[in-house]
Amino acid sequence: MLYVKGLYKSYRTGSREYQVLKGVSLHVAQGEFVAVMGPSGSGKSTLLNCISCYIPYDQGSITLGGTNLSQLSENALAKIRNEKLGFVFQDFMLLDGLTVRENILVPRIIQGKADRKAEERADQLVKLFGIARIQDKYPAEISGGERQRTAVARSLINEPYIILADEPTGNLDSKSSRTVIESFENARNQMNATIFMVTHDSFAASFCDRVILLKDGTVYRLLEKQDSRSSFQEQLLEAIKDMSDTEG
């Protein structure tokens, strides 16, 4: 589904150039839930922004659903971003003046495709994420966890190739975090959704199939869940400690 090969990205400040990504390669299969973790400055956000077509990269390739993104025009990239990618952000990004259901339908409304099929899809999503009872409420009237589940539902309304989630549990308490991560699991298990998540939270990452550790713009280590969620979290914490111990 998603293939990143030899990705390089640098930024220039005055006469100085800072390399952020240094030959990153990874893949995410259809129906897989994958997380990227790493310390501040490791390149997590830059990687996500490159995949989401928001910033250009210097070298390498990103292939999504069989399409090489580097060969597309700006208009074609915008179409991919609007129709084939689902986004979930740390701060929800819901529209206060719209109900939960209307927020879920926003991507289809923007495209002028809020038809019966979209309405049926919204019905399916509010049931899947346990938010049917609040679908006529406004964001200010619901909890943070419910807002984020609404955002996850919105990300799926277009049946995207992949959901890109940027610190989706960053503003939530532990109970709400678990509910949101379980909503990703539900999307993967019941809709075969593909999810690529940037997180600093080992608890959230422990629900994933695989975790990619980034350090200094390179892939430091790849971990795959073999046993229980709790044992995978312990493995993640140990790997993160090892990565910290090797800094410098």
Residue pLDDT, tens place only, 1-17? 899 999 999 998 888 88
112, pLDDT greater than 90: no
The pLDDT of residue 247 is 62
Bridge partners of residue 35, in order along the sequence? 197, 211
pLDDT digits (tens, 9 = 90+) for 83-101: 889 999 888 899 999 999 9
Half-sphere exposure of 156 (CA within 13 A, CB side): 28
Phi, then psi, of 145 in degrees rounded to 5: -65, -40
- As given in the structure block, the two tokens for residue 151 are 């955002």
The pLDDT of residue 157 is 94
* Overall residue count recorded for the chain in this entry: 248
196, pLDDT greater than 90: yes
Instruction: Please give the Cα distance from 126 to 10 (Å, whole number).
Output: 41
CB atoms within 10 A of CB 106: 16
Is residue 145 within 8 Å of 67, Cβ to Cβ? no
Residue type, 99: T
pLDDT digits (tens, 9 = 90+) for 115-140: 999 999 999 999 999 999 999 999 99
**What is the band of 167 on the pLDDT scale with cuts at 50, 70, 90?**
very high
Among 244, 126, 233, 237, residue whose Cα is nearest residue 186: 126
The residue ranking higher by pLDDT, 114 or 237, is: 237
**What is the band of 111 on the pLDDT scale with cuts at 50, 70, 90?**
confident
